[in-house]
Amino acid sequence: MVVIALGFVAGAWMLQQQASLPMLSQLLFMGTMVVMLIAAIPFLQQRFCNRSFFNQHAFALLFTRLTYFIFATALGFTWAWGIANLRLSDALPSEWEQKNITIIGVVASLPEQTERGQRFLFDVEHVLTPHAQLPKHISLNIYAPYNASPKLVSTIQVPQVQVGERWQWSVRLKRPHGVVNPHGFDFEGWALAENIRAMGTVRLKSGTKKLAEHVTHPAYWVENMRANIAERIDKTLAGQPYAGVIRALVIGEDSQINQTDWDIYLRTGTNHLMSISGLHITMLSGLMFAIVYWIWRRFPALLMHLPAKKAAAIGGML
């Protein structure tokens, strides 16, 4: 199992090192080479294992593991290639950039408060503009009117959206673009990893319409829980300067931390602690695994009911 897992990861890593995605014909050619290589392994195994000065059992085990590793590597490479093609195919066509498009969809993330409005993820359900093609998962901003006449501002209603709501509105989108500055943040790569295939703004002048207060779907359960926790934190710590920090530590949403506090965290090197990441969760899970494993091994009665590794795995998962 370990050999298969390592081979699968190695195959996915090999695809990520390519300058461009291989064509289907190239993938089929590489697959043919892998099949020929695996087919040749039994012949090599028979030839080397028959030598008297070789440990036949050790070489048989080595060739078996080599076969599993090559097969898992090819499988990992193919899997990563398929996922990459699927992700890249769901892109915003260039001819629909910066065009007004009317869509219906659901707010898919907890909205972040910005200086001029809100930013959130949006799942597109229907495209009402004829012939328009949009990705299924986009990032939207709602901006309050800026440099507009008071009469126009009074007629435009700026909606405050919540996760799980279904809306109809007109948007103007563009593809995610990054910069090629050395050692800079790869925004385009980050957007691809987060499955954000287009980003843009809601056109408030074209009107907005809330179609459903709450969409019941498993995809939004976690975000709804985060929204409920954020609401309770805001009510309990209303007016407290550390409310944004508590919000960031509990649900990983750091848009409420003021700039002064951010400057302090940047100077002290603790800014990465303000948002829960997969690394933090993995570290805590590993620590819990080690603690449970160390305690469980010292009680024979517990070992008779459940092996220490299984108990530690359950503790790390919880």
Angle ∠(45,49,50) on CA atoms, nearest 5? 120
Is residue 246 included in any domain, yes or no? no
Question: Among residues 219, 244, 268, which one ends one of the domains?
Answer: 219
With left for phi above 0 and alpha for psi between -120 and 50, is residue 183 left, alpha or beta?
left
Between residues 138 and 303, the one the model is more confident about = 138
Is residue 257 included in any domain, yes or no? no
The reported pLDDT for the residue numbered 122 is: 92
Between residues 51 and 26, the one the model is more confident about = 26
Q: Which domain holds residue 65?
A: 2-89
Whose structure tokens read 């809306």?
167
Q: Read off the tokens for 100.
A: 């007004």
The reported pLDDT for the residue numbered 138 is: 92
Residues 6 or more apart in contact with residue 255 via CB below 8 angstroms:
112, 113, 114, 244
In this predicted model, what pLDDT tens digit does every residue of 277-290 receive, in sequence order?
Answer: 656 677 788 888 88
The reported pLDDT for the residue numbered 275 is: 62
Q: Are residues 33 and 70 in the same domain?
A: yes
Q: Are residues 214 and 152 in the same domain?
A: yes
Q: Are residues 77 and 107 in the same domain?
A: no
Q: Read off the tokens for 45.
A: 């195994």
* DSSP three-state, residue 221: helix
Residues 6 or more apart in contact with residue 74 via CB below 8 angstroms:
11, 30, 31, 34
276 pLDDT band, cuts 50/70/90, is low
Q: Are residues 116 and 206 in the same domain?
A: yes
Is residue 172 included in any domain, yes or no? yes
Average pLDDT value for residue range 60-84: 82
The reported pLDDT for the residue numbered 214 is: 84
- Asked if residue 55 has pLDDT above 70, the reply is no
163 pLDDT band, cuts 50/70/90, is confident
- Asked if residue 18 has pLDDT above 80, the reply is yes
Q: Are residues 193 and 167 in the same domain?
A: yes
Which of 108-122, 160-174, 219-233, 271-285 shows the lowest mean pLDDT across its residues?
Answer: 271-285
Is residue 225 included in any domain, yes or no? no
The reported pLDDT for the residue numbered 274 is: 66
Q: Are residues 74 and 142 in the same domain?
A: no
The reported pLDDT for the residue numbered 27 is: 78
139 pLDDT band, cuts 50/70/90, is very high
Q: Cβ(203)–Cβ(140) under 8 Å?
A: no
Q: Are residues 153 and 168 in the same domain?
A: yes
- Asked if residue 140 has pLDDT above 90, the reply is yes
CA distance 47 to 59: 11
Q: Read off the tokens for 230.
A: 């954020």
Is residue 272 included in any domain, yes or no? no
Average pLDDT value for residue range 221-233: 84
Q: Are residues 112 and 194 in the same domain?
A: yes
Question: Among residues 152, 184, 219, which one ends one of the domains?
Answer: 219
Whose structure tokens read 């986009």?
138
Is residue 146 included in any domain, yes or no? yes
CA distance 21 to 218: 33
Q: Are residues 50 and 11 in the same domain?
A: yes
**16-20-23-26 Cα dihedral, nearest 10 degrees:** -70
| Longest CA–CA separation in the chain, Å | 95
* DSSP three-state, residue 166: strand
% of the chain residues with pLDDT over 70: 87
- Asked if residue 118 has pLDDT above 70, the reply is yes
